[in-house]
Homo-oligomer: A and B are copies of this chain.
Amino acid sequence: MIQSTMQSGNLSLASLVDYSRKSFPEGKVRTWTGSDFRDITFAEIGAQGAQLAHALTAIGIGRGDRVATFMWNNNEHQVVYAAVPAMGAVLHTVNLRVSPEQAVFILNHAEDKVILVDASVAPMLSGYVAEAPGLRHVIVVNGPVDSFTAPDWVTVHSYEDFLAGHPTTYDWPDDIDERDAAVLCYTSGTTGDPKGVVYSHRSIYLHSLTATSTTGLGMSNRDTMLAIVPMFHVMSWGLPYAAMMCGATIIMPDRFLQPEPLLAMMEAGRPSLAAAVPTIWQGVMGQLRTAPQDISHLREVIVGGAAVPHSMIKAFDEFNAPITHAWGMTETSPLGSIARPPAGVDDPDEAFAFRVTQGRFPPLVAGRIVDEEGNELPWDGEASGELEVSGPWITGAYYQPDGNVSAPDKFRDGWLRTGDVATISPHGYMTIVDRTKDIIKTGGEWISSVELENAVMSNPVVLEATVIGVPDAKWDERPFVLAVVAGEEHADIEAHKAFLADLVPRWQIPERWSFVTEIPKTSVGKFDKKAVRSRYAEGGYQVHGKPAGE
């Protein structure tokens, strides 16, 4: 046996902050103000981050302590992203869109001592703080301190005053172990309490490196990335750290997440990349149809968080802004797979067939599909089973203050059970056909609710649609469609059934439909099937003839 002569080389965010400041001092983050950008350079982030680290140290924050944020995507959030893990503390990004009960739950569960809050959402946080007795310091960013009403055990600071007078350099520790905790994020699960995932310096470093790799996003020094996906949701898909690694410019929308301001910031900033969930892009496309604008500066539009409707890919192709579909979860940091056609596939139609899959696993993610007994299934594009993944940025447990838990229904032999049902082609392209719990079991056969949704939505008059299984006396379950259509005249079940006749097997065509003005969505913009089920599963779905609520 011989020993490697290589240095150990610590994968630490402390070294990343230092690297970005020295190698890309001119790199910048740009936050939209509603009419323009306010910029901060990576050199300034390094300096402001040093001040923040000193200020946090001064109020007693040390190794492993949680520092929470309740903030939009903006310059100051980027400073917190840089400084908190680099000083050895743990950044906890709180989702602005969870329910008050969930917010209180995670503030307490994470044992947050200090939280930075954007003034625009400070009133919302004020309502939770009395029930989170561990919180001692609230730092108000981008607005007046009096936007926050605090119990008397909480000290409220303004961000500027908090930083003022502290040195603009900090001797970032070089003894952080790469497997130490760096960022804590809770899943916005639709069932049960939110579950915490703790990313390590190692996991974030490797994920960022892959974001700059052609096996990931291929982000470079020459890119400008519009990071629409919130920093409170899986670290904005890792984009803030990836930008620091490669010196990309990053555009932060702050609270301006509606189609019009998004298009205004695209016009002003001309991003080469952009990342968001499908519902955001649906809105942007709607606005583009009304007020066309050149968006061909986008060399790639990254869409994840939910399946991309085929029609959306085609619509963006028309605008020369090609969509690349990626799959992931809070538990997977999130990059789990990405759908770029393989080398040699240049014909648009042939390429399209690959672009609508969830794509290939990147090198650091191992994936497999298994049957209900856990037996591995072949990569033949036919067999479908639960998707399981493993790798250095995949969670192996959920966070508990008294010891992380690895629940048997969520993990199997070191693999994360994703709850998705998928096929994998002989060339490694994974296609999610459904959630394990959303598969519709009818007369001994399975219907993929995802495929049926896609078929329903391929009708141009359908704006949105979701499909769930509902109890049926004869067939056990039958599909039920909840749809938003483009006008009362399209709320016609027979017309929709006729449309489907060429697209899906006859036995899959749903009998039960309901037309509404909006489909319930979760805090991260996905269809909330739990809410749909609780309202429609037991009946009431024979509504038709006109959109509900009209």
Interface residues of chain A, those whose CB is within 8 Å of chain B, are: 1-11, 15-16, 19, 22-27, 63-64, 66, 90, 179-182, 184, 196-200, 202-203, 206, 209-210, 212-215, 218-222, 245-249, 340, 342-344, 360-361, 363-364, 366, 379, 390-399, 401, 404, 414, 416, 426-428
Contacts of A197 in B (CB 8 A): 5
Contact B343 A221 (CB under 8 A): yes
Q: Of all chain B residues, which has the CB nearest A220?
A: B214
Interface majority SS (helix, strand, loop, mixed), chain A: loop
CB-CB under 8 A from A196, the residues of chain B are 5
Q: Which of B64, B209, B363, B394 contacts A6 (CB 8 A)?
A: B394
Q: Check A428–B24 contact: CB distance below 8 A.
A: yes
Chain B residues within an 8 Å CB radius of A202? 4, 6
Other-chain contact of A3, B198, B248, B428 (Cβ < 8 Å): B198
Within 8 Å CB of A4, what residues of B?
Answer: 179-182, 198-200, 202-203
Contact at B25–A426, with CB atoms within 8 Å?
A: yes
B214 touches A218 (CB 8 A): yes
Complex Cα spacing A366 to B17, Å: 12
Instruction: Name the B residues within 8 Å of A395 (CB-CB).
Output: 5-7
CA distance A158 to B349 in the complex (A): 47
Q: List 14 A-B contacts (CB under 8 A).
A: A2-B401, A4-B180, A5-B198, A5-B396, A6-B202, A7-B416, A15-B366, A209-B213, A214-B218, A214-B219, A214-B221, A215-B246, A218-B220, A247-B342
Q: Are B181 and A3 in contact (CB under 8 A)?
A: yes
Contact across chains for A1 and B246 when beta carbons are under 8 A apart:
no
Output the nearest chain B residue to A27 by Cβ-Cβ distance.
B343
CA distance A396 to B4 in the complex (A): 9
Tell me the complex Cα distance, A19–B362, Å: 9
Q: How far is the CB of A543 from chain B (nearest CB, A)?
A: 44
Measured in the bound complex, the distance between the Cα atoms of B10 and A428 in whole Å is 21
Chain B proximity of A107: nearest CB distance (Å): 15
Is there an interface contact between B19 and A198, defined as CB atoms closer than 8 Å?
A: no
Q: Please, which residues of chain B bring their CB within 8 A of the CB of A396? A: 5-8
**A15 partner residues in chain B, CB cutoff 8 A:** 366
Q: What's the minimum C-beta distance from A380 to chain B, rounded to whole angstroms?
A: 12
- Return A193 CB to nearest CB of chain B, in Å: 16
Q: Smallest CB-CB separation from A211: which chain B residue?
A: B213
Q: In the complex, are the beta carbons of B427 and A1 less than 8 A apart?
A: no
- By beta carbon, the residue of chain B nearest A245 is B363
How long is the Cα–Cα vector from A393 to B399 in the complex, in angstroms?
33
A327, chain B: closest CB distance, angstroms? 15
Specify which chain B residues have a CB less than 8 angstroms from the CB of A219 in the assembled complex.
214
Does the CB pair A63–B247 fall under 8 Å? Answer: no
Q: List chain B residues, Cβ under 8 A from A360.
A: 23
Cβ contacts under 8 Å, A182 to chain B: 4
Known pairs A26-B342, A222-B343, A246-B214; A199 contacts B392 (CB<8 A): no
Are A2 and B184 closer than 8 Å at their CB atoms? yes
Residues of B within 8 A of A23 (CB): 360-361, 427-428
On whether A25 and B427 interact (CB within 8 A), knowing A4-B179, A198-B4, A404-B3, the answer reads: yes
Query: Across the interface, do B22 and A391 meet the contact criterion of CB distance under 8 Å?
Result: no
Q: How far is the CB of A15 from chain B (nearest CB, A)?
A: 7
CA distance A202 to B6 in the complex (A): 9
Measured CA separation A401–B2 after assembly (Å): 7
Give every chain B residue within 8 A of A212 (Cβ-Cβ): 213-215
Among the interface residues A90, A379, A392, A395, which one has the most CB atoms of the partner chain B within 10 A? A392
Contact between chains at B7 and A414 (CB < 8 Å): yes
Cβ of A396 to closest chain B Cβ, rounded Å: 4
Contact between B414 and A181 (Cβ–Cβ < 8 Å)?
no
Give chain B residues whose Cβ lies under 8 Å from the Cβ of A25: 426-428
CB-based contact A198/B366 at 8 Å: no
Give chain B residues whose Cβ lies under 8 Å from the Cβ of A364: 9, 11, 209
Inside 8 A of A344's CB, which chain B residues have their CB? Answer: 26
Contact of A9 with B428 in the complex, beta carbons under 8 Å: no
Among A184, A203, A416, the most chain B Cβ lie within 10 Å of the Cβ of A203
Q: How far is the CB of A67 from chain B (nearest CB, A)?
A: 12
